[in-house]
Structure 1
Amino acid sequence: MAEAHQAVAFQFTVSPDGIDLQLCHEALRQIYLSGLHSWKKRFIRFKNGVMTGVYPGSPGGFMVVVVSYMSYNQYRRLDPSMGLIAKLGQHMPISRYMSTDSQRIVGGVLVGTGLWVTIIMIMRNVLKSLLSWHGWMHARHGSVSWSTRLWLILVKVFSGRKPMLYSFQNSLPRLPVPTIKDTCRRYLESVRPLMEDERYERMEGLTKDFEKNLGPRLQWYLKLKSWWASNYVSDWWEEYIYLRGRGPIMVNSNYYAMDFLYVFPTSIQAARAGNAIHAIMLYRRKLDRAQVQPIYLLANKVPLCSAQWERMFNTNRVPGVETDVLQHVNDSKHIAVYHKGRFFKVWMFYDGRLLLPREIEQQMERILADSSEPLPGEEKLAALTAGDRTPWAKARETYFGRGKNKNSLDAIEKAAFFVTLDDTEQRFEEDNPVKSLDSYAKSLLHGKCYDRWFDKSFNLIVFKNGTMGLNAEHSWADAPIIGHLWEHVLSMDPLKLGYTEEGHCCGEPHPNLPGPQRLSWDVPAECQEVIQSSLTVARNLADDVDSHIFPFIDFGKGLIKKCRTSPDAFIQIALQLAHYRDKKKFCLTYEASMTRLFREGRTETVRSCTLETCAFVRAMIGDETREECLSLLKLAAEKHQNMYRLAMTGEGIDRHLFCLYVVSKYLGEDSPFLKEVLSDPWRLSTSQTPLQQVELFDLVRHPEYVSSGGGFGPVADDGYGVSYIIVGENLINFHISSKHSSPETDSHRFGANIRQAMLDILDLFQLEKKTK
Structure 2
Amino acid sequence: MAEAHQAVAFQFTVGPDGIDLQLSHEALRQVYLSGLHSWKKKFIRFKNGILNGVYPGSAPGFMLVLAGYLGRAHYLKVDPSLGLLVKLGRHVPVRYACRTDFTKKIAFGGVMVGTGLWIAIIFSMRTVLKGLLSWHGWMFAPHGKMTWQIRLWLVCILNIFSGMQTPMLYSFQNSLPHLPVPSVKDTMRRYLESVQPLLSDEEHRRMQSLALDFEKNLGPKLQWYLKLKSWWATNYVSDWWEEYIYLRGRGPIMVNSNYYVMDFLYAFPTHLQAARAGNVIHAIMLYRRKLDRAQIKPLMLQNTIPMCSSQYERMFNTSRIPGIETDTVQHMSDSRHIVVHHRGRYFKVWMFYDGRLLLPREIEQQMERILADTSEPQPGEETLAALTAGDRVPWACARNAYLRHGKNKKSLDTVEKAAFFVTLDDTEQRYDPSNPVESLDHYAKLLLHGKCYDKWYDKSINLIVFKNGTMGLNAEHSWADAPIVGHLWEQVLSMDPVKLGYTADGHCRGEPHPNLPGPQRLQWNIPPECQTMIANSLSVAVALANDVDSHIIPFSDFGKGLIKKCKISPDAFIQLALQLAHYRDKGKFCLTYEASMTRLYREGRTETVRSCTMESCAFVRAMIEIRSEKLCLLTQAAEKHQQMYRLAMTGQGTDRHLFCLYVVSKYLGQDSPFLQEVLSEPWRLSTSQTPLQQGELFDLVNHPEYVTTGGGFGPVADDGYGVAYMIVGEKLINFHISSKCSSPETDSHRFGNNIRQAMLDMLNLFELDKKTLK
Map 1:253-402 → 2, pairs under 5 A: 253-298=257-302, 300-402=303-405
Change (3 A) 1:624 1:767: closer
1:555-574 maps to which residues of 2 (within 5 A)?
Answer: 555-574=558-577
Secondary structure of the corresponding residue to residue 474 of structure 2: strand
SS in 2 for 1:704: helix
- Identity score, percent: 75
Partner of 1:179: 183
The CA distance in 2 between the partners of 1:451 and 1:318, in whole Å, is 18
Number of the residue aligned with 1:737: 738
Deviation of the 1:768 alpha carbon: 8.4
Whether the aligned pair in 2 keeps the contact of 1:449 and 1:535 (CA below 8 Å) is: yes
Distance in 2, Cα, partners of 1:337 & 1:60: 47
Give the counterpart letter for 1:229 in structure 2.
Answer: A
Q: Which amino acid aligns with 1:33?
A: L
How far does residue 350 in structure 1 lie from its aligned partner after superposition?
A: 0.2
How far apart are residue 748 of structure 1 and its match?
0.0
Partner of 1:675: 676
3-state SS of the aligned residue for 2:602?
coil
1:194 aligns with 2:198: yes
User: 1:39 Cα deviation (Å)?
Assistant: 0.3
Moved more, 96-105 or 673-682: 96-105
Q: Secondary structure at the match of 1:338?
A: strand
2:133: which partner in 1? 131
Letter in 2 for 1:690: P
Letter in 1 for 2:51: M
Aligned to 1:219: 223
Amino acid at match of 1:171: S
Which is worse superposed, 102-111 or 252-261?
102-111
Contact 1:126 1:158 in 2 (8 A): no
TM-score (norm 1): 0.98
CA contact (8 A) 2:404 2:412 kept: no
1:533 to 525, 533, 536: 536
Q: Give the Cα separation in 1 of the matches to 2:136 and 2:71.
A: 42
Is 1:523 aligned to 2:529, yes or no? no
Aligned partner of 1:109 in structure 2 is 111
Q: TM-score normalised to the size of structure 2?
A: 0.98
- Which of 468, 493, 498 aligns to 1:495? It is 498
Alignment of 1:679-690 (within 5 A): 679-690=680-691
What one-letter code is carried by the residue in structure 1 that aligns with 2:481? D
Change (3 A) 1:92 1:329: closer
Which one-letter code corresponds to 2:431 in the other structure? F
Q: Is 2:132–2:157's contact at 8 Å kept on the other side of the alignment?
A: yes
Residue number in structure 2 paired with 1:666: 667
Cα-to-partner distance string for 1:34-74 (whole Å, 9 max, x where unaligned): 11000000000000000001111112211111121111100
1:691 CA displacement: 0.2
Which residue in 2 is equivalent to 1:94?
94
Q: Is the 8 A contact 1:5 1:514 kept in 2?
A: no
Distance 2:92 2:535 in 1: 74
Cα distance change on mapping 1:634 and 1:728 into 2, 3 Å = same
Query: Superposition pairs for residues 230-269 of structure 1, below 5 Å?
Result: 230-269=234-273
4+ aligned runs moved over 6 Å, structure 1: none
Cα offsets for 1:275-325 (capped at 9, x unmatched):
000000000000000000000102x00000000000000000000000000
Letter in 2 for 1:661: Y
Equivalent residue, structure 2, for 1:169: 173
- Name which of structure 1's ranges 135-144 and 545-554 shifts more when overlaid on structure 2: 135-144
**What secondary structure sits across from 1:725 in the alignment?**
strand
Per-residue CA deviation, residues 529-572 of structure 1 (Å, 9 max, x unaligned), is: 00000000000000000000010010000110010000000000
Q: Tell me by how many angstroms 1:722 deviates.
A: 0.1
Q: How does 1:554-593 map to 2 (within 5 A)?
A: 554-593=557-596
**Alpha-carbon distance, 1:3 to partner:** 11
1:75 pairs with 2:78: no
Does the residue aligned with 2:341 lie in a helix, a strand or coil? strand
Aligned residue in 2 for 1:407: 410
How many angstroms does 1:140 deviate by? Answer: 2.5
Structure 1: any 5+ residue segments left out of the alignment?
Answer: none
The residue aligned with 2:767 is 766
Q: CA deviation at 1:14?
A: 2.8
Q: Does 1:64 align with 2:64?
A: yes
DSSP-derived class of the 1:745 partner: coil
Q: Are the structure 2 counterparts of residues 361 and 768 from structure 1 closer, same or farther at C-alpha, using a change threshold of 3 Å?
A: farther
For the 8 Å contact 1:478–1:602, the answer to whether it is kept is yes
Give the CA deviation at 1:152.
1.2
Structure 2 CA distance, aligned partners of 1:327 and 1:23? 36
What is the number of residues matched between the two proteins? 768
User: 2:633 maps to which residue?
Assistant: 632
1:19 is aligned to 19
TM-superposed deviation, 1:6:
4.2
Kept in 2: contact 1:4–1:515 (CA 8 A): no
Does residue 510 (structure 1) correspond to residue 513 (structure 2)? The answer is: yes
- The answer to whether the 8 Å contact 2:79/2:105 transfers is no
Alpha-carbon displacement from aligned partner over 1:727-769 (angstroms, at most 9, x marks no partner): 0000000000000000000000000000000000000001784
2:607 matched to 1:604?
yes
What SS class does the counterpart of residue 381 from structure 1 fall into?
Answer: coil
Partner residue, 1:140: 142
State the superposition RMSD in angstroms.
Answer: 1.2
In the alignment, the residues of structure 2 paired with residue 110 and residue 287 of structure 1 have an alpha-carbon distance, to the nearest angstrom, of 35
Indicate the residue corresponding to 1:119 in structure 2: 121
Q: Look up the match of 1:51.
A: 51
In the alignment, is residue 475 of structure 1 matched against residue 475 of structure 2?
Answer: no
Change beyond 3 A, Cα 1:165–1:698? same
CA shift for structure 1 position 145 = 2.7
CA offsets 1:101-146 (integer angstroms, 9 cap, x no match)? 3333221111000100010011101111110111111123333333
1:717: which partner in 2? Answer: 718
Q: CA deviation at 1:5?
A: 5.8
Instruction: Quote the offset at 1:157 in angstroms.
Output: 1.1
**1:215-246: per-residue Cα shift (whole Å, max 9, x none)?**
01100110000000000000000000000000
Structure 1 residue 388: deviation in Å?
0.3
The alpha-carbon deviation at position 21 of structure 1 amounts to 1.1
Mean CA deviation greater in 165-174 or 14-23: 14-23
Q: CA deviation at 1:270?
A: 0.2
Secondary structure of the 1:346 match is strand
- Encode CA deviations 1:680-736: one digit per residue, 9 max, x unaligned: 000000000000001100111111100000000000000000000000000000000
Is the contact made by 2:73 and 2:106 (CA closer than 8 Å) also made in structure 1?
Answer: no
Against the structure 1 CA distance between its residues 106 and 21, is the aligned structure 2 distance closer, same or farther, given a 3 Å change threshold? Answer: same
Does residue 419 (structure 1) correspond to residue 428 (structure 2)? The answer is: no
**1-side partners of 2:495 and 2:166: how far apart?**
24
Does the 8 Å contact 1:4/1:516 carry over to 2? no
Distance 2:504 2:156 in 1: 52
The code of the aligned residue for 1:143 comes to K
Match of 2:433 in 1: 430
Contact kept? 1:546, 1:738, Cα under 8 Å: yes
Q: Which moved more, 1:314-323 or 1:54-63?
A: 54-63
Deviation by residue 1:72-110 (Cα, 9 ceiling, x = unmatched): 100110100100111122334633465133333221111
Counterpart CA distance in 2 for 1:275 and 1:48 is 28
Q: Which residue of 1 aligns with 2:36?
A: 36
**In structure 1, what residue type is equivalent to 2:658?**
L
Cα distance in 1 between the residues matched to 2:60 and 2:336? 34
- What displacement does 1:678 show? 0.3
In 1, Cα distance between equivalents of 2:421 and 2:88: 59
On the 8 A contact 1:4/1:514 being kept in 2, the answer is: no
